[in-house]
Amino acid sequence: MTVSYTTNALSGRARCLNPDNINPHVKEAKYAVRGELAVKAEEYRVKLAQGDKSLPFDSVIFANIGNPQQLDQKPITFFRQVLSLLENPALLDNPEVLRTSFGYQQDVVDRAKTLLADVQSVGAYSHSQGAPIIRRSVANFIEQRDGFPANPQDLFLTAGASSGVSNILNVICSSPETGVLVPIPQYPLYTATLALLNARCVPYHLEEDKAWGTDVNAIRASLEKAKAAGTDVRSIVVINPGNPTGASLSPDDIKSVLDLAAEEKLVVMADEVYQTNVFEGEFTSFKKRLRQLQQEQPGKYDNVELVSLHSVSKGMVGECGQRGGYFELVGFDPLVTAQIYKLVSIGLCPPVIGQCLLELMVNPPKAGEPSHELYQKEYNAIRDGLHKRALALYEAFQRMEGVECQKPQGAMYLFPSITLPQKAVDAAAAENRAADEFYCLRLLDATGVCVVPGSGFGQKENTLHFRTTFLAPGTDWVERIVKFHSEFMAKYK
């Protein structure tokens, strides 16, 4: 007999689930970048698509999330050509047509054949850690980047970096007393996942007046306060380059974090998904700095546990929907690694097409190969466009009353602080809203530009911010923000 739990006004039967009996930790989790503002922005987009002329803008700019191809960033040709052959291998039976009619170069065909020889079909499960040929390519990439060896057995391919974060935190968080140090402001994936796991977020504040740098003394203070409250602090999260701040850490900053990890036995979670989005200086990975320190001071750093994460979603690739990424384990107990392998095996394997795209990202066409010239042209155009728009946005903020912003260093975001008139703060309170949330909602209603209030990422008390990407094409939408801000400030003075 089948029993229906759907609410039926005539029968009086109740559903099995209601908001009072579901997992309370799901209700506790918050994820601002896809919250109320994003929902409202999508409603406006649909209205415009349906021909609604009543709105005061003619397009919606989704500057709330790092989703490059939603904002017209074009896929890199080499990547998509290879993927097309992986999805439909029958095309390989007509190499001349591929070449003459569709412009596929020989290295595209060769790469597709190489990947298919290993994965056999993108519709088949792979090894739970990821296809061996792809893990070898990732290991080679890490070795070339850092100058130190990487072992494919230490690599776990993932459905984007987010799934890697979830898996690692699931292993680390063993009780409600487990704590993880998280930078504030932070990407809400971390606090949301900790809420789901019923573990404790231990916030440490980044230094806005020092280009959002990491202050190890502030971290130590947060750590000691948490331990005094009975929290078993096991890990520290570092996002480099930063999200939402866009800051890049120096080798000295990284050393300070590794020193603390060595002294306090903390697992370092290095979120490095923006490593190619660096405008100022050069990116230094946590793996490279750790290996350097292990050479310089034998013994001190030998047992530091590091997990570093990367993804195809960001950088110049921007293939968020393909869900590809990896994490590398360094210094972990082999028995713990075995448990991590068991955990990822429960999910069988990451998407194989995403794995293949990861291989293309870490092993792009090289100089002298047929696809290299076009690849380099497309890659550089995306990089230069991002930097140009970042500077345009930064310069616009310089013109806005009560707005201060650090010069863009990297990633895809700016995180300006805003000082609002007291009348605006009072109006927000009357709606039971944070003042920066109130500001961002009014911005969306007036301009169609969707950003995220700083309260969604965490911020120091008595400060207000918002995060915006600089992915949207053109700069006209930037002027929408400038005009709105001027009118908002005049209204609430």
pLDDT in tens, the chain (493 residues): 344 444 444 444 578 878 787 777 777 767 655 678 888 899 998 999 999 889 999 888 888 877 766 667 788 899 999 999 999 999 998 888 888 888 899 999 999 999 999 988 888 888 889 999 999 999 999 999 999 999 999 999 998 888 889 899 999 998 999 999 999 887 888 888 998 899 999 999 888 777 777 888 889 999 999 999 999 999 999 998 877 777 788 899 899 999 999 999 999 999 999 898 888 778 999 999 999 999 999 989 999 999 999 999 888 887 878 788 999 999 999 999 999 999 888 888 898 999 999 999 999 999 999 999 999 999 998 888 888 888 888 888 888 899 988 888 877 788 888 899 999 999 999 999 889 999 999 999 999 999 988 887 878 888 888 888 877 777 778 889 999 999 999 999 8
Each domain of the chain, given as residue ranges in start order, spans 24-60+379-492, 118-362
Q: What is the DSSP letter of 475?
A: S
What is the reported pLDDT for 325? 93
Do 223 and 264 form a contact (C-beta atoms < 8 A)?
yes
- Sheet containing strand 178-184, strands side by side: 155-158, 325-330, 306-311, 267-271, 232-239, 178-184, 200-205
What is the reported pLDDT for 33? 55
What is the reported pLDDT for 259? 95
Residue whose token pair is 């345009």:
392
Q: Would you state the structure tokens that stand for residue 19, as one six-digit string? A: 């908001």
Same CATH topology for 24-60+379-492 and 118-362: the answer is no
What is the reported pLDDT for 107? 93
Q: Spell 329-366 as b/e; 16+ CB within 10 A means b.
A: bbbbeeeeeeebeebbeeeebbbbbbbbbbbbbbbbbe
CATH number corresponding to 118-362: 3.40.640.10
Beta bridge partners of residue 238, listed in sequence order: 270
Fold assignment, 24-60+379-492: Aspartate Aminotransferase, domain 1 (3.90.1150)
What is the reported pLDDT for 241? 85
Residue whose token pair is 């932070």:
186
What is the reported pLDDT for 1? 39
With a CB cutoff of 8 Å and minimum separation 6, the contacts of 476 are: none
